Amino acid sequence: MTRRLTRRFFAVAATLALSAAGNTQQPQSAAPAAAPAMAAPQAGYTFASPQTLTFTVDWRVFTAGQAVFHLENVNGQMKVTATADTLGAVNMLYPVSDKYQASFDAGTGCSASFSKQIQEGRRKVNTDLTFNYAAGKQMLFERNLIKGNTKQQEAPIPACVTDSLSAIFYAASQPIVVGQNITLLLADSMRVV
């Protein structure tokens, strides 16, 4: 499995989780340039907590891996954890053991943090992303555990964003109607789409 297939592995699992959370539309790749602000969760909406979604991912005729998403409410802050692991023969060809964590405010839907620990083949990278809404910035700190180097970056964000993990559960908090659009301001790779 290549790095591209690993991303697809997680993307497939995330799409399945989004469907399980109640989405009835296909996600769009980017928001318009002048996108409106993200809406807070519907009044009276309660995130199902604790909630665990488990998916098996097949690669042709082989079971390639498993993705597990877990959501838990900790004092009004929603904590999301996800794992993506290869299984069986695929694990011997290209082992993947990725872990993701995110948190977002249950009342506003705004993400507070996102982190990932990537172990894909020989690649091992830890990334932490935090959101400072008062300063209007997202801050990234990345460590390559194999090469030993680090990277820090800052980029502007609007008043409220979601991350790629929290977005799965945030979407379920919106009144989704066939034929209407829902706006997600997704902070990903130091940009907002």
- pLDDT-above-90 percentage for the chain: 52
Q: Note down the domain range covering 153.
A: 3-192
As a whole number of angstroms, the distance between CA 53 and CA 67 comes to 8
- What pLDDT digit, counting tens, does each position of 1-59 carry? 444 444 554 554 454 444 444 443 433 444 334 556 888 898 888 888 899 999 998 88
In whole angstroms, give the CA distance from residue 161 to residue 157.
Answer: 7
Confidence of residue 119 (pLDDT cuts 50, 70, 90): very high
- Say whether pTM exceeds 0.85: no
From residue 62, alpha-carbon distances to 14, 83, 91, 131 in Å are: 20, 19, 11, 39
Domain count, the chain: 1
List pLDDT tens digits, range 127-148: 999 999 999 999 999 999 999 9
Tell me which of 11-15, 43-47, 75-79, 88-92 is least confident: 11-15
User: Can you say how many angstroms the Cα of residue 72 is from the centroid of all Cα atoms in its chain?
Assistant: 15
Residue-by-residue DSSP string for 39-94: PPPPTT----SSEEEEEEEEETTEEEEEEEEEEEEETTEEEEEEEEEE-HHHHHHS
